[in-house]
Amino acid sequence: MAHLKCQLICLAFLLHLLNVQVACGPSKRIINGFNATAKQFPYQVFMDRYVNYFWYANCGGTIISSKWILTAAHCIVDNAEAFNIYLGAVDKSNASEPGQQQLLVKRSQVIVHPEYDAVRVLNDLALIRLPAELHFSAYIQPARLPDPKHLHGNENGLVSGWGVTDIQHPTSSNILQYYDVRILSLDDCTTLLHTLSPAMFVPQTFICLKPSGSTPCFGDSGGPLAKRNPDGSSTLLGVTSFRLDSTCQLNMPAIYTRVSSYLSWIKSHIDAPDC
């Protein structure tokens, strides 16, 4: 935890120099979202982390195969010893709800992107290898990986998570929340971020959402930005990474890591043969 605190102090100092405040960290909930229903987001997972004999609410993630979950690197890089993964859940406080499963994953089963940069919040991805192969059902399904050539600018999407719904009472939601979003083009994303922070580096690996009446907040980190396909399946477009304020203001953009930029790295692990 001391290492994480040091990283966050360094990050805060640098962002002060750049006149921008980034809010990420292992806890991000959706403000002004809607309650999800059973089977609506079968690819969505939630993670608690185990640190020094205590469990803490942590982050979201996305099922991308029967053995792998994709989440944000910043959800992983403290001294957590293990993670409890909720699958098929809507009310994560109700372990007996239909379809819900929980899996314990050791820290050794997590792969953080080798070029993750906590200061500039770049390459903010991590893979979690599950201890057993999932048996898919109406409650538990993977999201598809995106087309590497499609940037999805000016398209609609869905954001979901169990993060904070009221910044004045910042506790993790028990009920999965979601809202509809509009994805900005890369040019519009760059223009918006430079308006807020002229010195900010905006790579193609970022996805910006158009500010609206809802927004992700603390506890939604690592969770999915997805789109619904005509056949009822979903495609994962982004992973919740950070935002430019610490109070989850509705007029501030949320930033996602663009999954299509990392397909080679993702597939090099999930397609590798079991040892």
Active site residues: 74, 124, 221
Structure tokens, 46: 């939630």
Measured between alpha carbons, how far is 79 from 31 in angstroms, rounded to an integer? 29
Give the residue among 33, 55, 52 at the shortest CA–CA distance from 44. Answer: 33
Instruction: Tell the residue number behind the tokens 């600018």, with chain if given.
Output: 153
Give the residue among 177, 164, 237 at the shortest CA–CA distance from 41. Answer: 177
Give the residue among 242, 234, 241, 232 at the shortest CA–CA distance from 262. Answer: 241
Measured between alpha carbons, how far is 66 from 227 in angstroms, rounded to an integer? 20
| CA distances, 142 to each of 112, 147, 191, 196, 236 (Å) | 20, 16, 34, 36, 9
Measured between alpha carbons, how far is 65 from 187 in angstroms, rounded to an integer? 32
Give the residue among 162, 158, 152 at the shortest CA–CA distance from 45. Answer: 162
110 Cβ contact list (under 8 Å, min separation 6): 76, 83, 126, 127, 128, 129
Structure tokens, 125: 């991805």
